[in-house]
Amino acid sequence: MKNYQAPQDLLKDRVILVTGAGQGIGKTAALTFAAHGATVILHGRSVKKLEAVYDEIEAAGHPQAAIFPLDLNKAEDKDFAAMAAGIGEQLGRLDGILHNAAKMDRPQPLEDQPLEQWLQLLRVNLAAPFALTRACLPLLKKAPDASIVMTSETHGHNPSAFWGGFAVAKSGVETLVNIWAQELAIHPNVRINAVVPGPVQSPQRSRTHPGERKDSLPVAETLMPLYLYLMGPDSRGSSGRIVEAATG
């Protein structure tokens, strides 16, 4: 999959929601999906960042994007329902979701992480992707070929000391994918998978590894063949998979 050659019109006429689209992997994925024909819905907290991505898509002559800002740490069921309703009213359909928004604090021992910190990590990294997917399922089920892509993380896939609530949340994402894939088996037009991106140049990586040389890491663009494969029609029939980018 990492060597997948996507046709230029792979995502033509599809509407794809990308969370965390203002920076890092989410931004790169949004630009890549748009370049392959998708109408991209840009989600994030910073309207300024989302508008910058929107402008890049428009300047490149790709399908006009949409912007839906929402703070996942504060959002409730009614907010996710309103977002799904807005997508349906404004765009008429939804063919895919890439869950890439994340909250990560500096690595620290479990005994130093208070409950409120854990609740925020679980809310943004696990509960919000669940709630948003749940709200959007009626739209996804109507699509002829819908794909949900969750983002796991190396320390959640293989639990490591000092990654605390973040690793637990990402481990939960993998369990969520497995459960939902089984429940969606009666809807063969909807699939759900997760990606473990591994170390790449990103704002999140800079926060957790401040002394690391950026040029020693691959750029987010190297992940895009995998993301295109999972989001596009060639992955139809593949569901419940946890794909490590380094080996996928």
Give tens-digit pLDDT for 85-141: 999 999 999 999 999 999 988 889 999 999 999 999 999 999 999 999 999 999 999
| Global pTM exceeds 0.75 | yes
Q: Is residue 7 part of a domain?
A: no
Q: What would the two tokens of residue 67 be?
A: 């912007």
Q: Is residue 6 part of a domain?
A: no
Instruction: Report the alpha-carbon distance of residue 50 to residue 43 in Å, rounded.
Output: 7
Q: What is the pLDDT of residue 176?
A: 97
Q: Is residue 28 part of a domain?
A: yes
Q: Is residue 121 part of a domain?
A: yes
Look up the domain containing 75 and give its range. Answer: 15-244
What is the per-residue pLDDT across 210-228, written as a single tens digit (0 to 9) for each?
A: 554 556 566 788 899 999 9
Q: What is the pLDDT of residue 105?
A: 83
Q: Is residue 8 part of a domain?
A: no
Q: Is residue 5 part of a domain?
A: no
Domain count of the chain? 1
Instruction: Report the alpha-carbon distance of residue 70 to residue 76 in Å, rounded.
Output: 10
Q: Is residue 187 part of a domain?
A: yes
Q: Tell me the CA distances in angstroms from 155 to 106, 158, 165, 182, 212, one per residue in order.
A: 13, 5, 11, 25, 17
What is the per-residue pLDDT across 231-248, written as a single tens digit (0 to 9) for each?
A: 999 999 999 999 998 765
Q: Is residue 183 part of a domain?
A: yes
Crossing angle for the helix pair 47-59 and 24-35, to the nearest 10 degrees: 30
CATH number at residue 55: 3.40.50.720
